Amino acid sequence: MEQERVPVLVVGGGYAGLSAAALLAWREVPVMLVERHPSTSIQPKAFGVGPRAVELLRPVPGIEEELTGIWAGIGENMRIAIAETLVDPNPHMIISDEQEQFAFLSQLTPAAMVGAPQAEIERVLRVKAEELGADLRFSTELVSLEQDEDGVTALIRSKDGDRVVRADYVVAADGYRSPLRQTLNVPTSGKGSLGEMCAIMFDADLSGLVREREVTLWYLQNSVFTGVIVTGTGVGAHVLGVNLDEGSPDLTEERCVELIRMVTGRPDLDVRLLDKATFGLGHVLADTYQVGRVFFAGDAAHTMPPTGGQGGSTALQDGCDVAWRLWLVLTGQAGPSFMDTYDAERRPIGVLTANAQLANLGARMPPAARIGYPEPLEDQAGALLGHRYHSTAILDEPGDDGSILEDPRVPHGRPGSRAPHVVLDWDGQRISTIDLFGSGFVLMAASPAGQAWMDAGRQVKERLGVRLTRLLVDDELMDVEGRFADRYGVRGGGAVLVRPDGYVAWRSPDADPDPVGTLEQVMRRILSR
């Protein structure tokens, strides 16, 4: 049987798998993706991508422009409410037109919140991954997988027959049922199955109910059913989700049209059904994201209810995150044990996000059986950019409290936190510090006292063979608003090291008598060298 060789095999062509493939291909790491379905999804599924996911994707040329070209500004054109129907005279507004909850985001990041449906985002990711050279194979399934000390051997099957693939690593992004998770006996926790929902995609003229290019997400609680309706998807379609239980009637085409007319309050509405799909709701958390050379991402790692809209963004972040770590290890910049940091950092965030979504489910769609669910996060908007990491790839400072969530409105530049947004002028062009991250490590210091760190960075870069960009603020980069030292916590002569994912790995608030020795030791520790 023919055998193929590839550094990374990705299983699953959803958010996590496609983002991993695109980011690996952009970093020139050969990658093969197998997906059992013939193409990406046609159902809108998840709606919206948070700014943190966009920050991770935006280093790939053109991808942010394509995503925002589909539909941007979800933070300005969205309403979320609990109601009986779309014409409920007294809905309980969770998010109103004014969008005060998200107004602060523009002060913290140049990345937009993208309001496009999952089907369109997957299409963009697929095209971009293929353009960059990723080998994407749809209508192809993983049949079996075996590991040894040197790699992974997988049997894949397509209409052309069976093939053996030998890979260094595998990204398991094979969905909420995750056959790989079962094959590798990964234990799980969480509430488990929470029932099923039928998603009915339809086209109809909802003028008067929905303004142009506005997303409305209404959680429905009425005498007929509980569910959700998403209107204004940007693709000429809307989606009605109906919670199913043992007593649910068969959702025939006639019944679907009847429910849509009831929800919209228009008994004569002309409805064209486009698609209907049933999917499971669940709260299933993998107790580890790593088994040997296999790394779990997306729904395979954390199946969560859709209430809150962060499942898709979290999956995208998983894919981007595992990609830059694999790149460092495969290119010899980091030691093999560096991959342990993926589970250490991403799993606490996956648990936090899944529990927050579960809490939202209890609050927004609350049958009596959901009493006892956790309370929703007090600052759900702040959680979009407020995650913190802790692992051997982060050198915590004395007194760090180990928290995994903080208020991003108060940027401080501590290791483990997302590197703050600061406006800079680079040769007459206004940019953000966020624009500097993605292709490798970045060492930043303020001129003129920080020059010693720049010299040290050059030597350490050559010694260790790592991709390290050295930037001196108020030299080639001008601190337009004078906020760099304060937001990054570096005074005269200090320096900060930012990872490829835009997180602060280490900083020295002040000058160091041996910057070369200190920086080399720091890099070796962070990279498991």
Do 359 and 405 contact (CB within 8 A), yes or no?
Answer: no
Residue 149 backbone class (left: φ over 0; alpha: ψ -120 to 50; beta: rest): alpha
Residue 152 confidence class, pLDDT cut points 50, 70, 90: very high
- Exposed/middle/buried for 185, CB within 10 Å: 0-12, 13-18, 19+? exposed
Burial 353-365 (b: 16+ CB within 10 A, else e): bbbbbbbbbbbbb
pLDDT score for 97: 56
Average pLDDT over residues 121-139: 96
Average pLDDT over residues 319-328: 98
Average pLDDT over residues 111-132: 89
Query: What would the pLDDT profile of 92-109 be if each residue is shown by its tens digit?
Result: 877 765 455 667 888 899
pLDDT score for 217: 82
Residue 362 backbone class (left: φ over 0; alpha: ψ -120 to 50; beta: rest): alpha
Structure tokens at 63: 């991808």
The percentage of the chain sitting over the pLDDT mark of 70, rounded to a whole number, equals 93
Whether residue 398 is preceded by a cis peptide bond, meaning omega within 30 degrees of 0, is: no
Q: Is 289 a catalytic residue?
A: no
Residue 78 has pLDDT above 70, yes or no: no
- Exposed/middle/buried for 201, CB within 10 Å: 0-12, 13-18, 19+? buried
Structure tokens at 23: 């980011």
Do 167 and 154 contact (CB within 8 A), yes or no?
Answer: yes
Coil, strand or helix at 499: coil
Query: What would the pLDDT profile of 176-209 be if each residue is shown by its tens digit?
Result: 999 999 999 999 999 999 888 898 989 898 887 7
pLDDT score for 72: 46
Rg (CA), the chain: 24
Give Cα separations from 382 to 385, 438, 467 (angstroms).
6, 23, 32
pLDDT score for 93: 78
How far is residue 37's CA from residue 140's CA, in Å, rounded to a whole number? 7
Query: What would the pLDDT profile of 464-492 be if each residue is shown by its tens digit?
Result: 999 999 999 998 899 999 999 999 999 88
Do 468 and 496 contact (CB within 8 A), yes or no?
Answer: no
Average pLDDT over residues 3-29: 97
Which has more pLDDT, 320 or 362? 320
Residue 147 confidence class, pLDDT cut points 50, 70, 90: very high
Amino acid at 267: P
How far is residue 16's CA from residue 200's CA, in Å, rounded to a whole number? 24
Residue 26 has pLDDT above 90, yes or no: yes
Q: Which of 310, 391, 394, 318 is nearest to 352 (CA)?
A: 310
Give Cα separations from 20 to 57, 324, 328 (angstroms).
10, 9, 14
Average pLDDT over residues 336-340: 98
pLDDT score for 235: 47
Do 315 and 18 contact (CB within 8 A), yes or no?
Answer: no
Query: What would the pLDDT profile of 366-375 be if each residue is shown by its tens digit?
Result: 776 677 788 8
Identify the CATH number of the domain defined by range 386-526.
3.40.30.120
pLDDT score for 318: 98
Query: Which one of the listed residues 219, 342, 389, 488 is annotated catalytic?
Result: 219
Average pLDDT of the chain, as a whole number? 90
| Residue listed under structure tokens 């699953």 | 12
pLDDT score for 246: 58
The percentage of the chain sitting over the pLDDT mark of 90, rounded to a whole number, equals 67
Burial 122-133 (b: 16+ CB within 10 A, else e): bbbbbbbbeebe
Residue 81 confidence class, pLDDT cut points 50, 70, 90: confident
For the ranges 123-137, 258-272, 399-413, the maximum mean pLDDT occurs at 123-137
HEC letters along 240-255: EEEEECCCCCCCCHHH
Lowest mean pLDDT among 121-135, 136-150, 223-237, 514-528: 223-237
Identify the CATH number of the domain defined by range 3-71+113-189+283-383.
3.50.50.60
For residue 280, the cross-strand partners are: 196
How far is residue 355's CA from residue 191's CA, in Å, rounded to a whole number? 10
DSSP string, 38-77: SSS--S--SEEE-HHHHHHHTTSTTHHHHHHHH-B-TTTS
Lowest mean pLDDT among 101-115, 273-287, 321-335: 101-115
* Residue extents of the structural domains in the chain: 3-71+113-189+283-383, 386-526
Query: What would the pLDDT profile of 404-453 be if each residue is shown by its tens digit?
Result: 999 999 999 999 999 999 999 999 999 999 999 999 999 999 988 899 99
Residue 74 has pLDDT above 60, yes or no: no
| Residue listed under structure tokens 């129907």 | 85
pLDDT score for 162: 95
Residue 73 has pLDDT above 50, yes or no: no
